[in-house]
């Protein structure tokens, strides 16, 4: 019985503690035990919340990264809309055949019959009796199901239902009383667990507590979806945390302490080749486990439950170092700089997403997501069969199923049943997916193998050495790249981080630095950094921007802050031009004044980029006036950082003298302006590259021709210039010749620039130089020839 297994597991934990105490002098420690054993098959049985698969996907991911030597297989046996009675109905066809070693069951959300709690039903005379009847049926059917399930000799774990959000200000009609009924379901689960001597996981209590705390500050917040029923990714993560907490699983990924060049403690790993010389420490470290790779959409759950402290500690502690700042590299990748105080206290490497260990965990995560998605597709097929087809057609031949569906839909249509469109859509998707079932089942069998190939431990070379803290000389005028992402989905303001937009990663900084590119233009949106005109900066967005700048500083890399708004921003849902009655210049001054005050101490800011590609500005309020006011405001806060002024008319270098020639008269009290032009090589210079090289009329000299008006203007007026965007497709080598000629011309004339573009979300964008499958893009070969205007 589960109760006995849990006691045995606790005994093993104590035995291991004693054993570790006895062998403390050995620097390779035995792993803690896990509840699920190698070869175990674990089935999650439930309704739509199980069908979704997220919470048990996170549990699988924990086991795959924490116990790489114990291969376990997780099965999704959820069916949306199911209740305890439905479990009985599909038991022999769907549950028993898997022969699971562990059956983890959740019911209740549909058993309470939520429709009974609709506001319009509350005055019906027998409503209370019907609600009570639903709960009695739940207990009876669940008891019968568990009795039958026990006969299969599977270990059973019961899960109390997740919550129904009846307290949040959400879009769905509030069925008041459902969550109270679910609490009573939880008590019934306790009763049945005692009867059947099985363990219980209590999701309801922790989710209720977390959600209540959230809504104390914002009644619109929820860990459940807007439908009040289905948890969002953070809610699923809280469920996974609760499950792991109840299982009393190990908290440490690994732990290593080094004091004055000697190992004093190591857990879940082995150290070799340790060497300490003056200000440098090196060693090889084979850890037995991987850090847990959280999905971006669930990351906010870290603020709700102490997952990192409880389950994701990868401790590196180095004592006895001389005072100073030390650079930690793993496999020659800079992880971060740390003071000797931070290292003596200990750092949690699991929170550093740029470590090779975390990157390996992300590969495991990718396969686990694929496995979850394949199982979801299979459950969609089973959902239709178990919910709408007669038993004799379950998993039957397709032709009889098609005949049944056709006749059923015809009946609904003839009888003018309002459900016709809904069922037509359901069956249409089913008939599309059903022929893929065998292939999906094959994938479901092979993906776990892939997970347990990717999660195997690897040795890594660690190095701690005094950090080089000096920024390069500005006079070198480096070339670089735009790292896009924070400005994506400009129509969604402020948007949702990691869904609508993202920020570049530390791994990208490391990659492009390894190619010699040391200047990064960071596009961002005004509306995201400052939600309300004249309001404060958004703390979360500032934090993301600051983290990127700080990561660049640790690597001695330069950053341009580029407000990517085209001379506009959304005000009350309407995109307004700066200088209009709804968006006076004073608001633009305000945001740049606050930004300058926020970032003025960051010594690796190459420049404040006032505005990306202003165009179509008002005749009454020209771009010159707007830029001048912003310059004066910035200089009230920061007299040192250069200010980069983009040209009017999309910052065109070719049209610069006509559209932006008057910018030479701008006044900077610090005399530290840089003028920014953009150019592309297609026919309309838009950078969309709709045609081929020949169709666009491009020649090897196109870039030089288009850059020359800007460069000559700079020389004539003794001004500093910069080309913030240029880029070419990857589909014809002739584009690379044109790019090469442009960069050679710019370098010869003392103008640096940043290529458009890189960034984590470009996928197959033909201008992007983000590596694909670890392979450099062809444009990079040209860019690598032009790293600095003034090489030293």
447-479: pLDDT as tens digits: 999 999 999 999 999 999 999 999 999 999 999
Degrees to nearest 5, angle at CA 80 with 78 and 86: 75
* Element spanning 39, H or E: none
Separation of alpha carbons 120 and 133, rounded Å: 19
What does DSSP assign to residue 163?
P
Long-range CB contacts (within 8 A, 24+) of 242-248: 242/201, 242/202, 242/203, 242/206, 242/207, 242/305, 243/55, 243/59, 243/159, 243/201, 244/59, 244/62, 244/310, 244/311, 245/310, 246/199, 246/201, 246/202, 247/35, 248/9, 248/10, 248/13
The tokens describing 421, both together, are 């469109």
Per-residue model confidence (pLDDT) at position 395:
83
Given 380, 508, 725, 770, the catalytic residue: 725
- Give the pLDDT band of residue 19 (cuts 50, 70, 90): very low
Separation of alpha carbons 178 and 228, rounded Å: 10
Per-residue model confidence (pLDDT) at position 375:
97
Total residues found in the chain within this entry: 792
Separation of alpha carbons 102 and 268, rounded Å: 27
Separation of alpha carbons 317 and 324, rounded Å: 16
**Helices and strands per DSSP (H, E), number in the chain:** 24, 24
pTM beyond 0.75: yes
Torsion, Cα of 676, 681, 687, 689 (10° steps): 180
Q: Residue 711: how many CA atoms within 13 Å on its side-chain side? A: 20
For tokens 């004044």, name the residue.
593
Per-residue model confidence (pLDDT) at position 15:
29
Phi, psi values for residue 309, rounded to 5°: -65, -40
Torsion, Cα of 329, 335, 338, 342 (10° steps): -110
CATH number at 2-249: 3.40.50.1110
Separation of alpha carbons 725 and 647, rounded Å: 12
Buried-exposed string 36-60: b where 16+ CB fall within 10 A, e elsewhere: beeebbbbbbbbbbbbbbbbbbbbb
- Give the pLDDT band of residue 638 (cuts 50, 70, 90): very high
Separation of alpha carbons 593 and 216, rounded Å: 34
Phi, psi values for residue 198, rounded to 5°: -130, 165
- Give the pLDDT band of residue 32 (cuts 50, 70, 90): low
For tokens 């193998």, name the residue.
449
Closest CA to 60 of 78, 43, 79: 43
CATH class for the region spanning 470-783: alpha beta
Separation of alpha carbons 238 and 212, rounded Å: 14
- Answer whether residue 8 shows pLDDT above 60: no
pLDDT tens string 274-301: 999 888 999 999 999 999 999 888 999 9
Classify burial at 4, counting beta carbons within 10 Å of its beta carbon; exposed 0-12, middle 13-18, buried 19 or more.
exposed
**Residues pairing with 623 in the sheet:** none
Domain ranges of the chain: 2-249, 251-469, 470-783
Closest CA to 189 of 210, 203, 179: 203
pLDDT tens string 767-791: 999 999 889 999 999 999 999 999 8
- Answer whether residue 757 shows pLDDT above 80: yes
Per-residue model confidence (pLDDT) at position 22:
26
Judge whether 725 counts as a catalytic residue.
Answer: yes
Q: Looking at residues 126-143, what average pLDDT do you find?
A: 97
Closest CA to 476 of 720, 790, 252: 790
Largest CA distance in the chain: 90
For tokens 């549909």, name the residue.
110
Closest CA to 112 of 147, 87, 137, 143: 137
Closest CA to 359 of 556, 543, 505, 552: 505
Per-residue model confidence (pLDDT) at position 251:
84
- Give the pLDDT band of residue 668 (cuts 50, 70, 90): very high
Separation of alpha carbons 291 and 364, rounded Å: 11
- Give the pLDDT band of residue 9 (cuts 50, 70, 90): very low
Conformational region of residue 345, where left means phi above 0, alpha means psi within -120 to 50, and beta covers everything else: alpha
Separation of alpha carbons 272 and 574, rounded Å: 62
User: 620 Cβ partners below 8 Å, 6+ apart?
Assistant: 579
- Answer whether residue 34 shows pLDDT above 90: no
Pairing of β 605-609 and β 643-646: parallel
For tokens 């085209």, name the residue.
566
Closest CA to 676 of 653, 706, 705: 653
Q: Looking at residues 615-625, what average pLDDT do you find?
A: 98
Is residue 175 within 8 A of residue 183, CB to CB? The reply is no
The tokens describing 759, both together, are 């960034």
pLDDT tens string 70-102: 999 999 999 999 999 999 999 999 999 999 999
Give Cα separations from 501 to 158, 227, 762 (angstroms).
Answer: 39, 25, 11
Separation of alpha carbons 778 and 76, rounded Å: 43
Long-range CB contacts (within 8 A, 24+) of 214-222: 214/304, 215/167, 215/168, 219/167, 219/168, 219/169, 220/168, 220/169, 220/170, 221/168, 222/165, 222/168, 222/170
Per-residue model confidence (pLDDT) at position 29:
32
Given 613, 676, 696, 770, the catalytic residue: 613
- Give the pLDDT band of residue 245 (cuts 50, 70, 90): very high
Query: With pLDDT > 90 as the criterion, what percentage of the chain qualifies?
Result: 92
Closest CA to 278 of 239, 232, 236, 326: 326
Average pLDDT over the chain reads 93
Give Cα separations from 435 to 271, 314, 378, 413, 459 (angstroms).
Answer: 52, 45, 11, 26, 44
Per-residue model confidence (pLDDT) at position 296:
86
Helix residue ranges per DSSP H, 690-761: 702-717, 733-748
Degrees to nearest 5, angle at CA 478 with 474 and 480: 135
Separation of alpha carbons 726 and 752, rounded Å: 11
Separation of alpha carbons 308 and 302, rounded Å: 7
Judge whether 288 counts as a catalytic residue.
Answer: no
Phi, psi values for residue 604, rounded to 5°: -105, 15
- Answer whether residue 152 shows pLDDT above 90: yes
The tokens describing 505, both together, are 């990663």
């Amino acid at each position: 019985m589960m109760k006995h297994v849990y006691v045995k597991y606790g005994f093993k934990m104590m035995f291991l503690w004693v054993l570790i105490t006895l062998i403390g002098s050995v620097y390779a420690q035995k792993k803690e035990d896990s509840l699920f054993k190698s070869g175990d098959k674990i089935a999650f049985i439930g309704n739509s919340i199980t069908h979704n698969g997220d919470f048990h996907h996170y549990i699988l991911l924990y086991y795959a990264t924490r116990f790489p030597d114990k291969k376990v297989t997780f099965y999704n046996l959820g069916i949306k809309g199911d209740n305890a009675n439905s479990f009985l109905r599909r038991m022999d066809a769907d549950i028993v055949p898997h022969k699971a070693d562990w059956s983890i069951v959740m019911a209740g959300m549909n058993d309470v019959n939520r429709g009974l709690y609709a506001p319009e039903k509350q005055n019906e005379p027998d409503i209370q009796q019907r609600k009570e009847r639903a709960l009695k049926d739940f207990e009876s059917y669940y008891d019968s199901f568990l009795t039958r399930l026990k006969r299969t000799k599977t270990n059973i774990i019961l899960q109390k239902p997740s919550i129904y959000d009846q307290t949040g200000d959400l879009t769905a009609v509030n069925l008041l009383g459902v969550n109270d009924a679910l609490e009573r379901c939880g008590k019934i689960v306790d009763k049945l667990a005692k009867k059947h001597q099985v363990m219980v996981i209590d999701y309801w209590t922790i989710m209720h507590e977390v959600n209540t705390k959230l809504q104390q500050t914002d009644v619109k917040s929820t860990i459940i979806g807007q439908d009040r029923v289905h948890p969002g990714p953070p809610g699923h993560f809280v469920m996974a945390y609760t499950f792991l907490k109840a299982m009393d699983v190990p908290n440490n990924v690994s732990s290593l302490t080094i004091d004055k060049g000697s190992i004093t403690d190591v857990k879940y790993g082995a150290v070799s080749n340790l060497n300490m010389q003056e200000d440098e420490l090196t060693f090889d470290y084979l850890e037995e486990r991987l850090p847990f790779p959280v999905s971006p959409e669930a990351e906010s759950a870290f603020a709700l439950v102490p997952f990192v402290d409880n389950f994701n500690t990868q401790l590196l502690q180095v004592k006895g170092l001389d005072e100073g700042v030390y650079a930690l590299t793993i496999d020659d990748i800079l992880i971060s700089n740390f003071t000797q105080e931070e290292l003596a206290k200990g750092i949690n490497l699991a929170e550093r997403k740029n470590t090779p260990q975390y990157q390996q965990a992300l590969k495991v995560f990718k396969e686990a997501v694929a496995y979850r998605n394949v199982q979801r597709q299979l459950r969609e097929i089973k959902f239709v069969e178990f919910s709408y087809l007669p038993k004799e057609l379950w998993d039957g031949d397709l032709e009889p199923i098609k005949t049944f569906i056709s006749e059923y839909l015809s009946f609904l249509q003839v009888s003018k049943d309002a459900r016709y469109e809904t069922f037509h859509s359901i069956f249409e998707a089913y008939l599309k997916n059903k022929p893929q079932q065998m292939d999906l089942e094959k994938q479901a069998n092979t993906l776990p193998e892939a997970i347990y190939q990717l999660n195997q431990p690897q040795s890594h070379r660690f190095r701690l050495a005094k950090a080089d803290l000096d920024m390069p000389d500005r006079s070198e005028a480096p070339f670089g790249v735009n790292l896009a992402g924070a400005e994506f989905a400009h129509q969604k303001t402020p948007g949702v981080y990691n869904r609508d937009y993202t920020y570049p990663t530390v791994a990208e900084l490391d990659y492009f630095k390894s190619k010699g590119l040391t200047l990064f233009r960071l596009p961002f949106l005004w509306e995201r950094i400052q939600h309300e005109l004249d309001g404060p900066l958004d703390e979360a967005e500032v934090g993301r921007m600051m983290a990127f700048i700080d990561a660049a500083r640790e690597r001695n890399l330069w950053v341009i802050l580029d407000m990517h708004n085209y001379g506009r921003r959304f005000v009350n849902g309407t995109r307004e031009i700066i200088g209009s009655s709804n968006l006076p210049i004073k608001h633009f001054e305000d945001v740049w004044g606050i930004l300058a005050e926020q970032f003025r101490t960051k010594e690796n800011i190459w420049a404040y980029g006032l505005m990306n590609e202003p165009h179509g500005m008002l005749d009454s309020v020209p771009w010159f006036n707007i830029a001048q006011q912003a310059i004066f405001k910035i200089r009230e806060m920061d007299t040192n950082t250069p200010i980069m002024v983009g040209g009017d008319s999309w910052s065109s270098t070719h049209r610069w003298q006509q559209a932006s020639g008057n910018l030479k008269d701008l006044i900077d009290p610090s005399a530290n302006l840089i003028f920014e032009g953009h150019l592309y090589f297609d026919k309309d210079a838009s950078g969309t590259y709709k045609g081929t090289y020949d169709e666009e009329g491009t020649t090897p000299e196109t870039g030089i021709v288009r850059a020359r008006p800007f460069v000559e203007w700079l020389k004539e007026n003794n001004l500093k210039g910069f080309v913030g965007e240029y880029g070419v497709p990857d589909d014809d080598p002739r584009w690379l010749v044109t790019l090469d000629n442009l960069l050679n011309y710019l370098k010869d004339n003392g103008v640096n620039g940043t290529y458009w573009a890189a960034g984590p979300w470009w996928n197959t964008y033909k201008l992007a130089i983000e590596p694909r499958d670890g392979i450099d893009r062809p444009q990079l070969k040209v860019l690598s020839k032009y790293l600095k205007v003034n090489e030293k």
